[in-house]
Structures are given as C-alpha cells and as structure tokens.
Structure 1
Amino acid sequence: MTSRAPLPPPVAALFPPRDERERIDELLGRELAEATARVVAGPVMPTLERERLRRELEPFDFARPRPLEELIAWAIGVMEQGVVHMNNPRYFGLFNPPASFPSQCADRISGAFNPQLASSGSSPAPVEIEAHVIRAFARRAGLPAASGGHFTTSGSEANYTALVCALTRAQPRFGTDGVRAFPGPVAMYTSRACQPAWFKIAHHAGIGRAALKLIDTDSSGRMHVAALEAAVKRDRAAGVVPVLVSPTAGTTGAGMIDPLAECACIAREHGAWYHVDAAWGGAALASERLRGLLAGIETADSITIDAHKWLATTMGCGMFITRYPQTLSEAFRVTAEFMPSSN
C-alpha cells in the first residue's frame, strides 16, 4: 500500500503560499506539455472505458481529500485517454480546432482573477475588453459604430439571445406578458440544414417547437429563398406573426452559406428580425479574402459567431452582436438594490 504525504490544512490546501503555487504551476505546465506531445502521436478517439472510470471515481469522496499533485496527474491521465483530441494531426472531425496557446494563457489569467461580470462596476477591465472585441467584429461585419453585444458560452446561447431580442422588439409587452402579448401565434424561420439547437431555443423561449419553420434547401444545401417567402406569406395570411428570419452562414453539416441578402429583404418586408447564424462561417470576417462570402451580413439586426470554432479559443466562447444594443439591454436588464443602477 502506497503511503501518501500528509495533507495540508484545508485553507492552506485551497490557498497555498506563493512558493507552493509556483512549484505546482511548474509541475502542471510540464505535465501538460508531456501529455500534449503524447496526444499528438497517439490515438484520436477516446480509449478510456467508462466502467473503469466509474470504478476509479468510487473512492473519491469529500471526506477523503487527496493531494493536489496526485489529482493533477490523475486528471491529466483521464483527459488524455477520455476525450477526442482535436490537436491530433489525424483528426478530421467537426470544426472545433485545438485551442491556441494564447487562448489557453487567457484562460489561466481569467481563472486567476475570476472576474465577476454581472456589473461593469465590479469588473471594468474585462467588460471594456469584451466591448472592444465585440465592436471590432461588428465593424468587420459592416454594422454601425453604435452596435454592441457580448460574449456567450456558445452559438446556441447567442441564437437564443437573438430570438429574445426579436420578440422584445416585435412586441413591447413581451417582457411582461410573454407571447400572450402578440395578436396571434409567432413563428421563426431557418433552413432544414440549421443547427438543431434552434428547436431547444424555441422550446426554452416559450414559443414552442412548432413555431420553428424549417425551409427547404436547394440542390447546394442553401435555404431556398422562394420557399422562405412563400412560407412567410402563408403564415401571415393565417394570422401568424413572423418574428425572426435566420439564415445560416456555415451550416453544420456542409458549411454552406444561405443567400443572406435575399433573406434580409424578406425579413424586412415582413417586419421580422434578421439574424445571421454565423457560428461557424463568421470567422471569415477576419479574412480579407473570404469576408466577401458573407455579403448581406452587413444589414443584419444581429449576428452569432463562435470564437471556439475557427478562431481557436478555448471552449466555450460565442459572440452575440447586434445593431440594436438598446433592445439587448431592454431584453435582459434587471435592477437590484445590491447592484448600482448605472451598471
């Protein structure tokens, strides 16, 4: 039976002195570098058997803490064997690339300072950094200088934000009365090649999954504009309120870009919020050579971009960008006596 070094007192274990932190940091960096080298040369797919992992987890208990060094080695070993390795050169799966080293460094800095982002007063530095990045992408997309937005955990959260903004702008009483404020049922439109999280978004927003209208695609996998226009007109004739039209810039299955400009015209004609789900393809805005593929995005009311895809940040980092930051504020602003109203 292997004996363990005596554990430090709880407070010292959680908040060790500087020399101990530096020693652990050095150990962690070395172990991660060695694991990364093994991953690049090893299998792409997980090799860890779940049943074995469950057996290993059984002894873990709050009443029986373990030394940090032991846990670091165990966790690295489990992750090395228990995830798909996107930084392996033989990985040809989904479009989530390995996280860049600068992004990993940013994660370390953020974790160390642990900013509270509920109000700008508590964390002015990260709030301003966030706003600067959002404005930079808004400019690349061709949106007005007054555009705004925020980071999200994913493209799905950003798309959800777009739907809430669309409902809020379409009906001022949505915030108080919900969908009952509308004169009839509401509908949102995207292509059959859309990210299926839209079903969950419609469910969670309270409009119901049936409110999501999937439009057929053409032979190239792009949303069929004539079918979109016909669906919107048919719904309006039946008393349905179109609240959101969302073409995709980079479909999950094939990377196709819907006809953005044509979709924008239909949204405008029928008073719907025009949102571009560019979770994947939005990274093309950073390229002078590729950004022309997104012609029509400049008229969007809002845009989704996932930085953890082509921009190679750590998981999960999405962006919601809108030309109507006041609508975003109206949809999500709350006040509390413990939070300054100016925040």
Structure 2
Amino acid sequence: MTSFDLTPQKREELLGLLLGKLESYYADTDALRVSPPLDIEQIQTEVRELFESSGSELEATNTLVEKLKTFSVHTPHPDYFGLYNPRANFAGILSDIITAYFNPQLAAWSHSPFAAEVESFLIKEFGQRFGYPSANADGVFATGGAEANLTAVLCALKHTHPDYAVNGLMGLNKRPLVYCSHESHHSIVKATRMVGLGSDSVRNVAVQSNLTMDTEALSQLIQEDLDAGHQPFMVVGTAGTTGTGAIDNLSAIHSIAKQYNLWFHVDGAYGGSAIISNRLKPLLKGIEHSDSITMDAHKWMSVPMGTSMFLTQHPNILSETFSTSNNYMPKDAGGLQIVDPFNHSVQWSRRSLGLRVYLSLLFFGWDGYEEVINHQTDMGEYLRTSLTKNGWAITNQSALPVICFTHPEYANDSEFATYITSKVVKSGLAWVSTYPVQGTLKVRACITNYSTQKSNIDHLVQLVNDAKIEYEK
C-alpha cells in the first residue's frame, strides 16, 4: 500500500529541498519579473506535461516551485503596485506551516480548543480596538471579505426579520433592500444573490466628488423606497474602497441607519486596519457605532491570503443566524460555556485562520504593525508628490496609499491609461492597474508591500514617464 507519510529520510530530503528553494524565492523576489507573459496554451501544456511525467518526488516538488516562479504575478515583489495582495510576513508563513502539520479542525471547539480560543481572543481584541464594548464584541474569522460581507447580510436579515432563519424570504411581505455606494465592493451584490434577495435588492447610492457616499442621496433614496412599499434593512459604509481608497462618512451613515432602524455594516476589508495606526484611526470615526465590520487581515496586516474577520457588537446574532442541531458533531464540550464554531459561521469544517494573525502579533506586536502601516502610508504620499512633480495629476482623494492618476493632457482619454498600464505590466518591471474615476480610466497604483521603498517608487515614476513618451510618438 502507498505510504502517504513517505519515509523519514524522504521527508527530510524533500523539506530540505523545498525550504531552500522557498527561502531563495522569499529573499530574492525583487530579482524576478513582477509579471509573466500570459501564454495560455504554454501554461496549459506545462500543467499537463508535469502531471503526466513520471519523475521522483524530488523532481515533482522542484518543478512545481519553478513553474509557480515562472508563471505568477509576484505580489510579494516591492514593485507590485496592484490590488490588495501584500507580501506575506514570515510569521504568517510559519503559522501556515504549523497549521498544515497539525491540521486543526475548527468546526468543533473540543477538537482544537487552543486554536479556537486564539480566534475568540483576537475577535475580542479587534472588536475593542474598533470601539465595541468588551462584553458585546463577537465575530468569526472568514476566508475573505466576500464571506464576511455575506455573513453581514445574513445577520442583518436575521436581526431585522427575527423569523428569517426559519421562514426565509417566503416569510417576508415586503422587498428587503440594501444600500451601498457606487464605489462599494461587488461582494455585496454577490451576497444578495446568494441569499436569494437578488441583485435588484441592492440600491447603489450616488457618490460625491471625493467618491464617498452622498449621505443626502442615501436618505432620499431610503425614503423613496419606504414610500414605494419596500423594506430597507441594511446600509453598508465603506472604509477604503477597492478602487480609490475612499472612506465614507461613517458617522453620518450611522445617524441615518439609526433614524430608519437599519443594520449598519462597515466594509473595512482594506481600510479597517487603519484602526491600528494612531495617525490614521481618526479616519474611521463612527465605526464604533456600526453593527458589524469586515476587516481583511491578509491586506494591511500582511498575512497569507484568505484571512478575514467579521466583527459585531451583537453577541448572540451569529448563533441565532447559523446555529443548527445535529447528531454527529462531537459533544465533548457539551457542559462547557462555549459555542462550537460551526454554529457561529457560514463555514462548517474549516482550517485555523487566526494563528496567522496571532503569531504575527507575537512576533511584531501592535507597535510593529503601526510602524508598517504608517510606512506604507508615507510611501503613498511620496508617490503622490513624485508624480505631481513629474507633471502627473492625482485624481482621487484618499489618505490611504491608493493613488489614481493620469496626465492632464489626457485627462479624458481612457486609452492613455490603458496604454500606460499595459506598457508597465508587459515590461515585467512593475505592476499597476486601471480604474475608472469620474467616468474615465486612470492608472491606479497602491502600496501593498511593507518592503516597498522610495527607490521602488522612483522606478515606477520613471516607467510611467517613459511609457508616456512612447504613447506620444
């Protein structure tokens, strides 16, 4: 019979090879192209040929790492200025190795009590940082902002419609509606589709010139929907929009939510981590009044992908929304004052996510994280200043390190931004994207990497300057 364990000698040999190659990649990421050529036929051929090869375990492991190194956008690269995909800190990487070995199952508390309590502890810690009372702070780790936002929609429905968990949408006689800005993340739309509300239940609120939600328009839209016989139940404020880093007026949204008795959720998947920085924390004023918060630790906290949190100051809402009875889950903790995680989450069987954040905080502490977040913010300001000095125009207003820009001569030319971005990405020397601001595509650059320095930003500015010259030829 095949031994999945392999022999101790083979394990040691494979680990030696793998750790050496991974350390080389981690130490020298900046020597690689940021992005690969995207030849789909070649990549599909490489996948098939590796699968059909009859090499040894060592050869398979070595080749797999090499293929990933060749055919990946290297988000850990300091010249990656793209989406919110940072370089993972080493503590987070170590925690993933530990988790893979122990393979804790967080459905039942009694199976992995230490890992489960780590997550409960962190939820309390983050809840209090956001201003939730300690006695009320609750939540759950999630695989990403989309799952956390889905959790928010489900909790909001249960809170505003107490019989929803039993009767579902069939028990409602009015159409439930969710409100968020035109700049909000599309996971809200996806969540409404998943719960059966449909995308038409999402009301997109107009934004102001700074791309934050127009709260007067929000109030007007809610009133119009009430007059039409609908039932508003939830409003989502965004703390750090994906495209431009805009932070909605959370205090004003809270006042409106309170007036109309709506669940107030803050999607702080990106900008929520600003709560760690004393300098940036004031930007989140009003978040302490929210009913729930989404925060992705895999963004500014630089832990491996798929580490998000849903936080709430309604301590019973998760159990009321997700609790089920069954005959097969372990009853070892039946007499203890605990809630099994499977009764507290969208997920059932799941791996530990909190260990990534826990070990990182053990290594670096809150002060270390504040330093890193402030550094990235400083690098964002340096990029704004450098671009302006070189004649470029900044087209978004954000204190976060998300910069959208174009050249004044081509302010209304989407093709210009597309050309600049394509030229930079195809060079393999950096990675940027485009985003529509006020109806026209702009170049978008975001500082996502704690190791990005002024020299990397100088390099990016030179690349876009050179691309502009070529565009004008």
State whether TM-score is above 0.5: yes
1:195-220 CA-to-partner distances (Å, cap 9, x unmatched) read 11221111011111000000000000
312, 325, 333: which one pairs with 1:322? 312
Contact 2:237 2:250 in 1 (8 A): yes
- Please state if 1:133 is matched with 2:106: no
Does the residue aligned with 1:195 lie in a helix, a strand or coil?
coil
Does the residue aligned with 2:301 lie in a helix, a strand or coil?
coil
Post-superposition offset of 1:56: 2.4
Does the residue aligned with 2:204 lie in a helix, a strand or coil?
strand
157, 165, 175: which one pairs with 2:155? 165
Paired amino acid for 1:100 = N
Does the residue aligned with 2:237 lie in a helix, a strand or coil?
coil
Paired amino acid for 1:144 = P
Matched with 1:255 is 245
Within-5 A mapping of 1:60-139: 66-139=55-128
Contact 1:202 1:208 in 2 (8 A): yes
Post-superposition offset of 1:257: 0.4
2, 19, 31: which one pairs with 1:10? 2
Post-superposition offset of 1:83: 1.5
- Please state if 1:200 is matched with 2:190: yes
Report the CA distance shift for 1:48/1:236 in structure 2 as closer, same or farther (over 3 A): closer
Distance in 2, matches of 1:195 and 1:67, equals 45
Distance in 1, matches of 2:75 and 2:43, equals 22
1:297-329 CA-to-partner distances (Å, cap 9, x unmatched) read 001110000011011010111100011131111
Does the residue aligned with 1:72 lie in a helix, a strand or coil?
helix
Runs (5+) with no aligned partner, structure 2: 335-339, 341-473
Distance in 2, matches of 1:116 and 1:65, equals 34
264, 267, 277: which one pairs with 1:287? 277
Contact 1:35 1:76 in 2 (8 A): no
Aligned identity (percent) is 36
Distance in 2, matches of 1:47 and 1:107, equals 29
Higher relative contact order structure (alpha carbons within 8 Å, sequence separation ≥ 6) = 2
Report the CA distance shift for 1:206/1:125 in structure 2 as closer, same or farther (over 3 A): same
Distance in 1, matches of 2:252 and 2:189, equals 24
Distance in 1, matches of 2:322 and 2:50, equals 40
Distance in 2, matches of 1:80 and 1:60, equals 15
Matched with 1:240 is 230
Post-superposition offset of 1:41: 1.0
Instruction: Spell out structure 1 runs of 4+ moving beyond 6 A.
Output: none
Runs (5+) with no aligned partner, structure 1: 1-8
Q: For the aligned residues, what is the CA RMSD?
A: 1.6
Task: Tell me the TM-score normalized by structure 1.
Answer: 0.93
Contact 2:17 2:62 in 1 (8 A): no
1:80-116 CA-to-partner distances (Å, cap 9, x unmatched) read 1222112222211112211111100001111111111
Does the residue aligned with 2:266 lie in a helix, a strand or coil?
strand
